[in-house]
Chain A
Amino acid sequence: MSTPAHRAAEQAARHSYGKLIAWLAARSRDVAAAEDALSEAFAAALATWPGQGVPLAPEAWLLAAARRRLIDMARRRRTRETASDRLLLSLEEAAAEADARGGVPDRRLRLMFACAHPAIDPAVRSPLMLQAVLGLEAATIAAVFLVSPATMGQRLVRAKRRIHDAGIPFRLPQPEDLPARLDAVLEAIYAAFAAGWVDPAGLDQRRQGLVAEAVWLGRVLTELLPDEPEALGLLALMLHAASRSAARRDGGGYVPLSAQDPARWDATAITEAEALLRRASRLGRVGRFQLEAAVQSAHAARRFTGRTDWAAIVELYDGLLALTGSAVVAINRAVALAETEGAAAGLAALDGLAGDAGLAAYQPYWAARADLLARLGQGEAADAAYARALALEADPAAQRFLQAQRARLPRG
């Protein structure tokens, strides 16, 4: 399968898919039709490129083929719908424009804003972006988001129909809407990353693939919005986390951050993340993703200094907590506090959160509690907390890790 034609088609798919969809769907707002047309164009490419050779401009070739297909579809519909006349005309106008500019303009950012539009269900924004911008199959996305392929397929179809029917625009938001709308795009990319990241054993290829795809989306976003500090912060955060992919597993076993060997962290990814974070901080607008990335940066420093600056991490979590008020942040802060002021202080901070009903079903809360109780020598309470954490953990590798911790408790 790795003939030059296949490789060229694969590369064009990787680099141009979202650009071509964004361009083809911009005027009609019909993502599904654009996807169909483009997939036929790829099929045509694989049929003709091996024999005739790869064209000099594969992207333009694919666009022309997909455009022809869209125009054919519009012509066929024209007998039924007069509205298609307008569509046909706008497609031809757009084609002339693209030819005059000598290339396909990059409108992926507009596509991303359409996918993360407030009128789209937040739960489907991330899958929609993975499909429309990167061309991922519904079945692949479904596996990672833990729903059946049929359900995911339906959700995606519905979301695309909604973009079309509700008239969700393919354009950049008004300046006054931009911060909120950009947050939604960042959240959707981060949700894709997080869905891929929940794999402590690191054995699921699809999940690892999704981590790489989310990083790719983050790169696209920073290319298109080079002066948005939070976009840079998100990419830095993802790269820092991804730099530890190899180190967080040990032959199918889960290795927590504190026990990881920094020599196994990916230095290239760390360097890139640090550079991004510096660029972001020069822009002078702090935000959630930059602070989260800064926490990861403080952890990464252990590779060079041999120690972790927990006081700095507590301070960063203070900032994050003030910004987000998130209980998850508060748990992480309590864990960091235990390192600077002792396990009792950390536990007291966790006790302060006990009123939050959502935490009763949140595994990291119980795991953190169990660890701090164990350190304070409260074996029985620690054992109970481990039991709660274990009941909430679905991943076998993380379960084995918790069981090993639990087994280490002194028996009274």
Chain B
Amino acid sequence: MEYVLLIYSNEQENAAMPQAEMQQWVGAFMAYTQALRDANILRASNRLRPASAATTVRISGGKTQTLDGPFAETREQLGGYYLIDVPDLDAALSWAARCPGAQRGSIEVRPVWAM
């Protein structure tokens, strides 16, 4: 089954991270990404720019509304994702627990709708 691991964390806290810690953090993500690749389960992944760079679009009454900012203001923001292919939820949860993002924020594990 395919699962997306959605990585949420507090962007303000991340921005306040000392340089050395940030480097360690990025290094941990790189190692994790490599581990997923080595296990041959990584289908896709991306790191996102901060929510302050987001633009939200919706059509209301036939008119396109463009809003500066993310869809919803929340304490933790979506910062990236991994798309993985594993046998079941237990495997997905165990990979999610190993993701460096789980140390500072939370990982939402969502199954992908099989087409």
Residue of A nearest to B91 (CB): A169
Q: Given the complex, which residues of A lie within 8 Å of B92, measured CB to CB?
A: 167
Judged by a CB distance under 8 angstroms, whether B88 is at the interface is yes
CA distance A165 to B21 in the complex (A): 38
Judged by a CB distance under 8 angstroms, whether A56 is at the interface is no
Interface residues on A, range: 10 to 19
Q: Given the complex, which residues of B lie within 8 Å of A165, measured CB to CB?
A: 111
Interchain CB contact (< 8 A) of B89 among A83, A169, A174, A177: A169
Q: Is there an interface contact between A166 and B111, defined as CB atoms closer than 8 Å? A: yes
CA distance A168 to B87 in the complex (A): 10
CA distance A165 to B87 in the complex (A): 13
Q: Is there an interface contact between A174 and B111, defined as CB atoms closer than 8 Å? A: no
Overall SS of chain A's interface: loop
Q: Given the complex, which residues of B lie within 8 Å of A118, measured CB to CB?
A: 93
Q: Is there an interface contact between B111 and A169, defined as CB atoms closer than 8 Å? A: no
CA distance A173 to B89 in the complex (A): 11
User: In angstroms, how far is the closest chain A Cβ from the Cβ of B87?
Assistant: 7
Which A residues between 115 and 164 are near B, CB-CB below 8 angstroms? 117-119
Q: Is there an interface contact between B114 and A173, defined as CB atoms closer than 8 Å? A: no
CA distance A119 to B88 in the complex (A): 12
Q: Is there an interface contact between B111 and A173, defined as CB atoms closer than 8 Å? A: no
Q: Is there an interface contact between A174 and B90, defined as CB atoms closer than 8 Å? A: yes
CA distance A118 to B92 in the complex (A): 13
Which B residues between 10 and 38 are near A, CB-CB below 8 angstroms? none
CA distance A166 to B4 in the complex (A): 11
Judged by a CB distance under 8 angstroms, whether B1 is at the interface is yes
CA distance A171 to B111 in the complex (A): 18
List 11 extra interface pairs beyond A165-B111, A168-B90, CB under 8 A.
Answer: A117-B89, A118-B93, A119-B93, A166-B111, A167-B88, A167-B92, A167-B111, A169-B88, A171-B88, A174-B90, A177-B90
Q: Given the complex, which residues of A lie within 8 Å of B90, measured CB to CB?
A: 168-169, 171, 173-174, 177
**Known contacts A167-B1, A167-B89, A174-B90; A83 and B114 CB within 8 A of each other:** yes
User: In angstroms, how far is the closest chain B Cβ from the Cβ of A27?
Assistant: 11
- A sample of 5 cross-chain residue pairs with beta-carbon separation below 8 angstroms, ordered by A number, consists of A118-B93, A167-B3, A169-B89, A169-B91, A173-B90
